[in-house]
Copies of this chain bind each other. A is one copy, B any other.
Amino acid sequence: MTQWVYSFGDGKAQGRVDMRELLGGKGANLAEMSSIGLPVPPGFTITTEVCTHYYSNDKSFPSQLEKQVLDGIKKVEKITGNKFGDEKDPLLFSVRSGARVSMPGMMDTVLNLGLNDKSTKGMQEKTGDARFAWDSYRRFIQMYGDVVLNVEHHLFEELLEARKDVAGVLLDTELSSNDLQELVKDYKELVKKELGEEFPEDPYKQLWGAISAVFKSWQIPRAKTYRALNSISDEWGTAVNVQAMVFGNMGDDCATGVAFTRDPSTGENIFYGEYLINAQGEDVVAGIRTPQHLTIKGKNAQGSNMPAMEEVMPEIFKQLDGVRIQLEKHYRDMQDIEFTVQKGKLYMLQTRNGKRTTKSAIKIACDMVDEKLITKQEAICRVDANSLDQILHPMIDPNATKQIIGSGLPASPGAATGKAVFCSDEAEQLAKEGIDTILIRIETSPEDIHGMHAAKGILTTRGGMTSHAAVVARGMGRPCVSGAGSISVSYENETMSAGSVVVNKGDFVTIDGTTGEIILGKVKTVQPELSGDFSRLMGWADKERKLKIRTNADTPTDSKTAIKFGAEGIGLCRTEHMFFDADRILAVRQMIMSEDVQSRQKALNKILPMQRNDFESIFKVMKGLPVTIRLLDPPLHEFLPTKEEFDSLAKQSGVSTEFVKKRVEELHEFNPMLGHRGCRLLNTYPEICEMQARAIFEASVNIKKETGETVLCEVMIPLVSIKKELDNLKLVIDKTAKLVEQETGITPEYMLGTMIELPRAALCAGEIAENAEFFSFGTNDLTQTTYGLSRDDASRFLSHYQQSEIMTNDPFQTLDTTGVGELIKIAKERGLKTRPDIKLGICGEHGGDPASIEFCHNVGLQYVSCSPFRVPIARLSAAQSAIKAKK
């Protein structure tokens, strides 16, 4: 017989903390607390399996459930000594939902369940407190009416207000027991009017109504949306916790409170919490009365003149502080607890791992290692790798006042302040004059790279989390707010309008890429403080991880940042970004305009020294660490002039405007992502490959001469789908290396490899590996082609797909392990078979995403490469993955 109900109480429990899947988080913790002897009001948990049964059996309960619930009630009755439904001294229940993970949006709580007209009178007599009894009853009707019977909440509030008017009072607490008794009548009439039937007086009917309501709330839209956004499976279901009521509001020997076992914002090891005398839990949260501090220290720190619990109820406080220590020892983590004191007796209502800031998470983890509560490995796993992003960038001073004029997507974290500019050239110009700017664009394109580099922050009104602006900004570590739809930009007037506020060119504006906020004027920002704890934790992580962490960097600045954050090499140096510089784009365009090899060669000769210089400066920073350089990847038309520039380009290149126009038209592509780019371009114009190879090898030789340091360069061919595409370019590259060797007398050291970013490349990896010494998985393009989905166009329906649960994650943020992942596995296996020492890494955006990094670890890659600011995240994730995999 399936056990659908698990009882707890009186120092015992049928459940355990590791039964979270069956009992939900709350139920499992109640059972655990009970079994370690903490004073938990008795009760029972109806399992999540009942929820699953309910939905797969046309919303009906398992047949034995009723009996098991009755047994559960009997056990509670036995412990508490009073009876559910008793008219004199009734046992009352709270009914709460409790899923595997905490989940806002679902039905939360019904308190005081079991009260009716008769038992309220009994309670009044038993407690001698008429007001308490009737207030409990009216609260119950209001809560039950709202969440179980679906009578709209505001209708109860209106009756309450009306009753206060009649009584001539302002506060709820000023209502007399008679007023409340009248209000109960009003409430019950309301229910009857709305539902066409009486409010249920039968406690058992009340209980089953509440249980059903919890299960029903699992499928309400808000809950579904939350699950979709948080990757929570529909099938997990929720549990229901039915627990004997205790009251913190039966007099001044009663209290209720919430606390953290350590400070959740700083991580300091102090008891941190608040309480209220003579109150119920909701009063603490509601904010009508100001809660008081638990400790004298806390009181003093805040300069409060309200007495601390430590002073008011020293014995109970001592007991609570003991519970605190017992819980931390037992759970080995900082706890978030709820308690109630009823008539001088302490009850624990809840414990769970406490939420905390990134900063405090790091401190708590390190402290607990020092306290020998947890191991270093556990400490590593205690910090959410993704959350590190919050502490690596400048932040808006938490104490600053700010005028928020709009918001967009938090596309790249950090805060930045500067003068509003609307064009990239201007951003670059002002940067040269030492003036900070925020670059504001409707969208950005590859032509804006120099402006994005020059600006302190980027704001766009279109595009999602994976738009050009967002991706490039994250790569550069520039704060970025993207897709701010409420803002409109006029390039003509050089203004940005947000409602009635107009920001002109040159006005100061601040963006917060961590929150998506757009703020008028300057706001003070604070620099990140990478505390000793941070570097301790990262040190432990580095020892655990198996994956090397490289960075995607195209400039010496980015390379330096990445090294500071612990990068062990460059996994992706994109050479095309170097082409956009104002002083070289002309030569690039002349190259594109060329119709024959000679004139193309001529233009390439102009670019060669610039590229060589690029590589030299990067090699210098990297000091012998490996540098993977990807040869030209994007389609040529990305470098083309705009219509306005046709004339000047024609003049400078000595061709007709008509010719420029024709050539631009010829280069137009219907699907540039699937067009003439990458190694296709290099195969049709091998002279480009030759120039880039020469620039790399000459730079490597020069650095060797200058510093004596051997440069480990890895020449990477993009977009290979056919073995011969690589073979042909290998001939060009090897020949160029030989030439450089002959010319300089120094042998350039290099490896030759390829991106695996097309499904066919993954499938043909075995043969491709014959000439490729390394594979770098370009998971952006691989995701695009595996799904047949353009990153730039996906925003049209991706949010719909996530809301309707067609996709649980944005596959451009978190690697699709099913489809894309299988191709990676196939490529890895086939590559290794051909070349057992092949080097394997990943250089897509996913290289900085913890879930994707875990996949990379498990599949056995050797490194991941991510943008500089995500290097610490990757280091920590890689360690967590290694630890997780060991278990």
Contacts and interface: CB of A to CB of B under 8 A. Distances in A.
Contacts of A683: 797, 800-801, 804, 806
Contacts of A676: 793, 796-797
Given A722-B806, A804-B728, A670 B793 contact: yes
Contacts of A816: 760
A433 to B, nearest CB: 35
A764 B819 contact: yes
A269 B230 CA distance: 78
Contacts of A763: 786, 818-819, 822-823
A760 B782 CA distance: 10
Contact of A670 (B721, B792, B804, B806): B792
Contact of A788 (B670, B781, B796, B819): B781
A790 B674 contact: yes
A719 interface: yes
A790 B721 contact: no
A787 interface: yes
B823 A793 contact: no
Contacts of A787: 721, 758, 760
Contacts of A823: 759, 763
Of the candidates A676, A760, A823, the one having the most CB atoms from chain B within 10 angstroms of its own CB is A760
Contacts of A790: 669-671, 673-675
A5 to B, nearest CB: 34
A785 B673 CA distance: 10
A725 interface: yes
Nearest to A822: B763
Contacts of A804: 683, 728
Contacts of A741: none
A788 B758 contact: yes
A673 B671 contact: yes
A186 interface: no
Q: Give the number of copies in the complex.
A: 2
Contacts of A669: 790, 792-793, 796
Contacts of A805: 724
Interface in A663-697: 669-676, 680, 683-684
A789 interface: yes
Nearest to A669: B793
Given A764-B819, A819-B760, A673 B674 contact: yes
Nearest to A789: B674
Contacts of A670: 672-673, 790, 792-793
B793 A675 contact: yes
Interface in A754-802: 757-760, 763-764, 781, 784-790, 792-793, 796-797, 800-801
A806 B673 contact: no
Contacts of A673: 670-671, 674, 788, 790
Interface string A815-826: 010111011000
B680 A797 contact: yes
A807 interface: yes
A767 to B, nearest CB: 9
A307 B221 CA distance: 97
A757 B759 CA distance: 13
Nearest to A673: B671
A233 to B, nearest CB: 13
A807 B758 contact: no
Contacts of A684: 796-797, 800
Contact of A786 (B719, B760, B807): B760
A485 to B, nearest CB: 12
A784 B674 contact: yes
Contacts of A820: 760
Nearest to A724: B806
Interface string A859-878: 00000000000000000000
Nearest to A759: B759
A706 B674 CA distance: 48
A672 to B, nearest CB: 7
Contacts of A784: 674, 788
Of the candidates A759, A789, A820, A823, the one having the most CB atoms from chain B within 10 angstroms of its own CB is A759
A445 to B, nearest CB: 10
A807 B680 CA distance: 12
Contacts of A674: 671, 673-674, 784, 788-790, 793
B785 A788 contact: yes
A788 to B, nearest CB: 4
Nearest to A821: B763
A819 B786 CA distance: 13
A797 B722 CA distance: 14
B797 A785 contact: no
A822 B823 CA distance: 12
A530 B138 CA distance: 92
Contacts of A671: 671-674, 790, 792-793
A806 B728 contact: yes
Interface in A816-863: 816, 818-820, 822-823
B800 A785 contact: no
Given A670-B673, A796-B676, A785 B759 contact: yes
Contacts of A721: 786-789, 819
Contacts of A764: 818-819
Contacts of A788: 673-674, 719, 721, 757-760, 781, 784-785
A822 to B, nearest CB: 5
Of the candidates A674, A719, A781, A805, the one having the most CB atoms from chain B within 10 angstroms of its own CB is A674
Nearest to A670: B792
A810 B760 CA distance: 15
Given A680-B797, A790-B670, A796-B675, A807 B722 contact: yes
Contacts of A757: 788
Contacts of A786: 721, 758-760, 763, 785
Nearest to A781: B788
A719 B797 CA distance: 14
A725 B806 contact: yes
Contacts of A806: 683, 722, 724-725, 728
Contacts of A719: 788
A452 B830 CA distance: 47
A805 to B, nearest CB: 7
A725 B675 CA distance: 28
A321 to B, nearest CB: 51
A627 B805 CA distance: 32
- A-B pairs, 6 with minimum CB distance: A674-B790, A760-B819, A671-B790, A675-B793, A759-B759, A758-B788
8 contacts: A669-B792, A671-B673, A672-B793, A721-B786, A728-B804, A759-B786, A760-B818, A763-B823
Given A670-B793, A671-B793, 4 more contacts: A683-B800, A724-B805, A758-B786, A763-B823
